[in-house]
Chains A and B, each alone.
Chain A
Amino acid sequence: MKRKRFYFDYAATTPLDKKVFLKMKPYLEDNFGNPSNLYEAGRKANQAVGEATDKITKALNCAPDEFIFTSGATEADNLAIAGIARANKEFGNKIIISAVEHKGIMSVCDALKKEGFEIVKIPVNKFGLVDLKKLKKEINSKTILVSITYADSETGTIQPIAEIADIIKKFKEKKYSKPYTLVASGYPPYFHTDASQAAPYLDINVKKLGVDLMTLSAHKIYGPKGIGGLYIKKGIKIKPIIYGGGQQSLRSGTQNVPAIVGFGEVMALAQKNKKAEFKHVKQLRDKLGKGIFKTIPRIILNGHPKNRLPNFLNISVLDIEGEALLLYLDEKGIAVGTGSACNSESLEPSYVLAALGRPYEYIHGSIRFTLGKYTKDSDVNYVLKNLPEMVKKLRQISPLNLKIKNPQKISQPKAFVGGKTPHFLKKK
């Protein structure tokens, strides 16, 4: 049975651009050489890797040797955090992250905690923006790394990266006072950002942003899965997390040549089409949002109302459970994401939405629509036609009728628990 697909989960992954696939294909077939080898096949592969690197580093406005390919964003995040932490112990043990980081950051920080590092999570406000005052307060002489996502993967709220970079820069200037200010930039605290979600739509010029390290992922921008990378500013002390034959010096393992070729292609394409794609998805996303709020009562927007990625729409549908709605939508061929506990392996509702202060009733009913360059106006119309009916049916099945006069104002996680703590909080 072949049915039409209405894909609204571009934040999870994107389809591979067919033009990009055609560029990759020769490196899966005839040009299969190992870039480390000196004979012709190896040289060809090596040249392809070099060309892809150039395309990526050009987009980032950095030197080619400031970029390392990894197996994806998770590895790049791990390398950034663990690599910096373990190489800079002499400078301190404090790592600062935000409460809305991706699991790729959260989990490696949990592991580093056991190695004796101090991990501080900066809270976010109800729109998901990092509290800069708290951040400023937390940066001290022991701090070796600050890692704040460019835009989180659940609400798409955009963090003020350049502003944070400036805070860190000012701290460094104070710490390494004259005549050392010139070399200060090469010393901790370093600033890392995960730009996996932001890359297709926002400025990723590392010089303008003022970041020391930046994570990228290919499969979020119509490239292949299994490839990503990390920008590392020259002169920064970092230790590998993968050891081997010394390919790419910091990251061993034979390069994934076809994927790297694809990554280079999509980065060049993304840069070229950024403005047009931004406009395209924003217009459709706004139409979808307006339509949903108009036709379905008791919906809540999660994330910043304006300052978020143009393709993100995360809403909570009161009284119903996200996984149930996801599966009803799936039955009509519509693919979305949810922050519901039932959809996660851990059975815990989204910690990102919890960090925004959303009560758990809201989080259980959260649905994330993320659009992309292949989203059509008719796809949005299709959702707007089908969603109200499904919500109506699931609300009929549900015994709940959460009575909230002004739901947008409620920002306490415990608002509905009657002062009691749910199981997923008890542990903490």
Chain B
Amino acid sequence: MSKKSLTAKKKTPDVVNKFTGGNWVYTKEVKEHFFKPKNLLWENPDSAKFDAEGIVGSPACGDVMRVWLKIDPKKDRIIEFKWRTFGCASAIAATSMLSVMATEKGGMKIDKALKIKPKDIMKRLGGLPDRKIHCSVLGDKALRAAINDWFKKTGQYERIIVEGSRVIDPDTKVTEADIESAVIEGVKTIEGLQKRTKVGIGNPACLDEAEQLLRFYREKYFGKEVSLTN
């Protein structure tokens, strides 16, 4: 091989994203938010400076997201969203993107913020590799945890969201609705469900219930003949 062809080889990127054909494992939006995180809480956290706070995840499982909010009670809008995240590139980028979504255009209405779903964040990030989807599922939960915290602090008990539906895993705040939508998206096994939703991570006691729900919704949407043994 000539010198020229060796140099040409060097230019070839090491990692090619099979989803976008780009030069990096992730999209350029993910890259931007990963290397230049927006609305990060740089200084030491001082709860007194914020109206509410929320945290989800567990360090043993590789993802922890912590969110601090300032809320305008008159307009019922988020005016500041600060965060810190322990996790991989997609987890960091997802929280950063969420903070932008929540504070852009004069701040998001609380009711709207409560409805943010992982796929909304993923869409803004230009997509994530399939096996990385679970990394983005905690951000919206951390935001809802923080808003709930604000509801409690301000006595708006009637507004407290019990996670859309019943919370199955108190650690990761996975709900029955999360399991239902995972099944609709094609999750077949409890392992698959864990990869998608992180249910039972660090809290295996809830796995039996999660498995029952998985079976229930599999049967509901795909019929009884579906086997869960694979």
Which among A5, A342, A397, A421 is the interface contact of B37 at CB below 8 angstroms?
A: A397
Contacts of A417 in B (CB 8 A): 58, 60, 202
Contacts of B7 in A (CB 8 A): 2
Sample of 25 A–B contacts (CB below 8 Å): A2-B7, A321-B62, A321-B86, A321-B91, A331-B35, A341-B62, A345-B131, A347-B195, A349-B62, A396-B42, A397-B84, A397-B86, A397-B92, A398-B84, A398-B86, A399-B66, A417-B58, A420-B203, A421-B204, A422-B58, A422-B61, A422-B202, A423-B201, A423-B202, A426-B204
Given contacts A399-B64, A426-B207, 15 further A-B contacts (CB under 8 A): A327-B34, A327-B89, A342-B87, A342-B132, A349-B62, A360-B61, A361-B59, A397-B86, A397-B92, A399-B66, A399-B85, A400-B59, A400-B64, A417-B58, A423-B202
- Asked if B61 and A396 make an inter-chain contact with CB atoms under 8 angstroms apart, the answer reads no
A-B contact count (CB 8 A): 105
Contacts of B1 in A (CB 8 A): 21, 25
The docked-state distance in angstroms from the alpha carbon of A420 to that of B59 is 12
Q: Mark A317-343, 1 if CB is under 8 A from B, else 0.
A: 001110110011001000100001111
- Asked if B204 and A340 make an inter-chain contact with CB atoms under 8 angstroms apart, the answer reads no
Q: Which of B37, B84, B90, B207 has the most A CB atoms < 10 Å from its CB?
A: B84
Q: Which B residues from 3 to 31 make CB contacts under 8 A with A?
A: 7, 10-11, 14, 25
The docked-state distance in angstroms from the alpha carbon of A90 to that of B195 is 42
Q: Which B residues from 57 to 75 make CB contacts under 8 A with A?
A: 58-62, 64-66
Q: In chain B, what residue has the closest Cβ to A344?
A: B131
Interface presence of A359 (CB below 8 A) = yes
- Asked if B203 and A342 make an inter-chain contact with CB atoms under 8 angstroms apart, the answer reads no
Interface presence of A192 (CB below 8 A) = no
**What total of chain A residues lie within 8 Å of the partner, measured CB to CB?**
40
The docked-state distance in angstroms from the alpha carbon of A100 to that of B140 is 38
Q: Which A residues from 339 to 379 make CB contacts under 8 A with B?
A: 340-343, 345, 347, 349, 359-361, 364
Contacts of A323 in B (CB 8 A): 88-89
- Asked if B62 and A364 make an inter-chain contact with CB atoms under 8 angstroms apart, the answer reads yes
Given contacts A327-B89, A420-B204, A422-B202, whether A402 and B61 have CB atoms under 8 Å apart is no
Which among B40, B135, B198 is the interface contact of A423 at CB below 8 angstroms?
A: B198
The docked-state distance in angstroms from the alpha carbon of A364 to that of B135 is 14
Interface of A is mostly: loop
Interface presence of B55 (CB below 8 A) = yes
The docked-state distance in angstroms from the alpha carbon of A345 to that of B25 is 13
Interface presence of B200 (CB below 8 A) = yes
Q: Which A residues from 381 to 412 make CB contacts under 8 A with B?
A: 396-400, 402
Interface presence of B111 (CB below 8 A) = no
The docked-state distance in angstroms from the alpha carbon of A397 to that of B207 is 31
Tell me the smallest distance from the CB of A224 to a CB of chain B, in Å.
Answer: 12
Which among B42, B60, B132 is the interface contact of A360 at CB below 8 angstroms?
A: B60
The docked-state distance in angstroms from the alpha carbon of A342 to that of B135 is 9
Interface presence of A187 (CB below 8 A) = no
The docked-state distance in angstroms from the alpha carbon of A332 to that of B86 is 21
Interface presence of A114 (CB below 8 A) = no
Given contacts A417-B60, A426-B207, whether A399 and B191 have CB atoms under 8 Å apart is no
Which among A335, A340, A341, A396 is the interface contact of B40 at CB below 8 angstroms?
A: A396
The docked-state distance in angstroms from the alpha carbon of A343 to that of B35 is 18
Q: Which A residues from 20 to 79 make CB contacts under 8 A with B?
A: 21, 25
Q: Which of A347, A360, A396, A423 has the most B CB atoms < 10 Å from its CB?
A: A423
Interface presence of A133 (CB below 8 A) = no
Interface presence of B103 (CB below 8 A) = no
The docked-state distance in angstroms from the alpha carbon of A347 to that of B191 is 11
Q: Mark B75-107, 1 if CB is under 8 A from A, else 0.
A: 000000000111111111000000000000000
Interface presence of A427 (CB below 8 A) = yes
Which among A340, A345, A399 is the interface contact of B55 at CB below 8 angstroms?
A: A399
Q: In chain B, what residue has the closest Cβ to A22?
A: B1
Q: Which B residues from 99 to 150 make CB contacts under 8 A with A?
A: 131-132, 134-135
The docked-state distance in angstroms from the alpha carbon of A413 to that of B134 is 23
Interface presence of A418 (CB below 8 A) = yes
- Asked if A422 and B60 make an inter-chain contact with CB atoms under 8 angstroms apart, the answer reads yes
Q: Which of B35, B37, B89, B194 has the most A CB atoms < 10 Å from its CB?
A: B89
Given contacts A324-B88, A417-B202, whether A399 and B195 have CB atoms under 8 Å apart is no
Contacts of B207 in A (CB 8 A): 426
The docked-state distance in angstroms from the alpha carbon of A324 to that of B30 is 12
The docked-state distance in angstroms from the alpha carbon of A94 to that of B16 is 42
Interface presence of A243 (CB below 8 A) = no
Which among A319, A335, A340, A420 is the interface contact of B62 at CB below 8 angstroms?
A: A340
Tell me the smallest distance from the CB of B9 to a CB of chain A, in Å.
Answer: 10
Tell me the smallest distance from the CB of B27 to a CB of chain A, in Å.
Answer: 13
- Asked if B86 and A399 make an inter-chain contact with CB atoms under 8 angstroms apart, the answer reads yes
The docked-state distance in angstroms from the alpha carbon of A341 to that of B61 is 9
Q: Which A residues from 306 to 321 make CB contacts under 8 A with B?
A: 319-321
Tell me the smallest distance from the CB of B12 to a CB of chain A, in Å.
Answer: 11
Tell me the smallest distance from the CB of B44 to a CB of chain A, in Å.
Answer: 10
Tell me the smallest distance from the CB of B41 to a CB of chain A, in Å.
Answer: 8
Interface presence of A176 (CB below 8 A) = no
Contacts of B135 in A (CB 8 A): 342
Contacts of B84 in A (CB 8 A): 396-399
Q: Which of A321, A402, A418 has the most B CB atoms < 10 Å from its CB?
A: A321
Tell me the smallest distance from the CB of B95 to a CB of chain A, in Å.
Answer: 9
- Asked if A397 and B40 make an inter-chain contact with CB atoms under 8 angstroms apart, the answer reads yes
Tell me the smallest distance from the CB of A91 to a CB of chain B, in Å.
Answer: 35
- Asked if B62 and A360 make an inter-chain contact with CB atoms under 8 angstroms apart, the answer reads yes
Q: Across chains A and B, which 5 residue pairs bring their CB atoms closest together, nearest first?
A: A342-B88, A399-B84, A399-B66, A323-B88, A398-B86
